[in-house]
C-alpha cells in the first residue's frame, strides 16, 4: 500500500501514519522527523533546514526531496509507504509524481485529515508540555497554520483531481480516525 497523508499541523498525521503503516506492512516516512533527525545530528542538510523549522516555514523543496526520495522508493519496493508531511506543496507533489511514475511507485491514495483549527491549536499546545518541540509555541503554531493554508491546503484539490483523495474527520478519537482510514483504504481496488 502506498499512501500520502495530508492535513494541517496537529491533525494527527504522525499518530495515524504509524498505525496505517503497521496495518498494511508499509514504512512510515515522516518528513518532519527526518528533518529533526538531521538537525539533531548537525548534518549540513540539518544546518540548512534548522531555521525554517524553528520559524514554522517550509524548508526548500530540493532539501526535502534529497532527504526522502531514495527512502520512499526503497520503501515502495519493500512493502509500501505511508508518507507523513510530504508532499507539502503542489510543486512537491508534481515533482514527486513525475519521479514516482518513472520509478513505478505512484500513490494509491491521499488521505486528508480535516480538522477544526482551534482544536488543533489546543492539541499542539498540549503536546508542547510533553515533547518540547521548538515549533509548538503559540506564535509558531499560528504561523504554521497560515503556511499550511497558503501552501499545503491546495494539495487536497490536486489529489481530488487525480481521483486519489479520501477525506477523514480528524476530530474523531484517534481509534475512530484509524478505523475510518483503514475502512476507506480497504475499499480501494486491489
C-beta closer to ligand AP5: residue 9 or 46 = 9
Q: What is the DSSP pairing of strand 81-84 with strand 27-30?
A: parallel
**Minimum distance of ligand AP5 from residue 190's CB (angstroms):** 29
C-beta closer to ligand AP5: residue 70 or 189 = 70
**Minimum distance of ligand AP5 from residue 46's CB (angstroms):** 12
C-beta closer to ligand AP5: residue 144 or 189 = 144
Distance CA 143, CA 149 (A): 10
Catalytic residue among 13, 19, 36, 50: 13
Helix H or strand E segment including 118: helix 117-131
**Annotation marks residue 36 as catalytic:** no
Do the Cβ atoms of 53 and 39 come closer than 8 Å? yes
Catalytic residue among 2, 19, 36, 88: 88
Residues that bind ligand AP5 (CB under 6 A): 7, 9-15, 31-32, 35, 52-53, 56-59, 64, 85-86, 88, 92, 123-124, 127, 135, 144, 173-174, 177
C-beta closer to ligand AP5: residue 24 or 89 = 89
**Annotation marks residue 71 as catalytic:** no
**Annotation marks residue 144 as catalytic:** yes
Q: Which residue is nearest to ligand AP5 (CB)?
A: 32
**Annotation marks residue 2 as catalytic:** no
**Annotation marks residue 133 as catalytic:** yes
Q: What are 67-75's contacts with CB under 8 Å, separation 24+?
A: 67/31, 67/34, 67/35, 67/38, 68/29, 68/31, 68/34, 69/96, 69/99, 71/27, 71/29, 71/34, 72/29, 72/96, 72/100, 72/105, 73/103, 73/105, 75/26, 75/27, 75/29
Output phi, psi for 94, to 5 deg: -70, -40
| Residues noted as catalytic | 13, 88, 127, 133, 144
Amino acid at each position: 500500500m502506498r499512501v500520502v497523508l495530508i492535513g494541517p499541523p496537529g491533525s494527527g498525521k504522525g499518530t495515524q501514519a504509524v498505525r496505517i503503516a503497521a496495518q498494511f506492512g508499509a514504512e512510515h516516512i515522516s518528513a518532519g522527523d527526518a528533518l529533526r533527525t538531521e538537525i539533531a545530528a548537525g548534518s549540513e542538510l540539518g544546518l540548512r533546514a534548522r531555521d525554517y523549522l524553528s520559524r514554522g516555514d517550509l524548508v526548500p523543496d530540493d532539501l526535502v526531496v534529497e532527504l526522502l526520495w531514495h527512502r520512499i522508493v526503497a520503501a515502495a519496493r519493500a512493502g509500501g509507504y505511508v508518507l507523513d508531511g510530504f508532499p507539502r506543496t503542489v510543486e512537491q507533489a508534481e515533482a514527486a509524481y513525475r519521479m514516482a511514475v518513472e520509478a513505478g511507485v505512484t500513490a494509491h491514495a491521499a488521505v486528508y485529515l480535516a480538522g477544526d483549527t482551534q482544536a488543533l491549536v489546543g492539541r499542539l499546545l498540549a503536546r508542547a508540555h510533553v515533547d518540547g518541540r521548538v515549533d509548538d509555541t503559540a506564535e509558531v503554531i499560528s504561523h504554521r497554520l497560515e503556511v499550511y493554508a497558503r501552501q499545503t491546503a491546495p494539495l487536497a484539490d490536486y489529489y481530488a483531481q487525480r481521483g486519489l483523495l479520501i477525506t477523514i474527520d480528524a476530530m474523531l478519537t484517534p481509534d475512530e480516525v484509524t478505523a475510518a482510514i483503514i475502512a476507506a483504504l480497504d475499499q480501494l481496488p486491489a
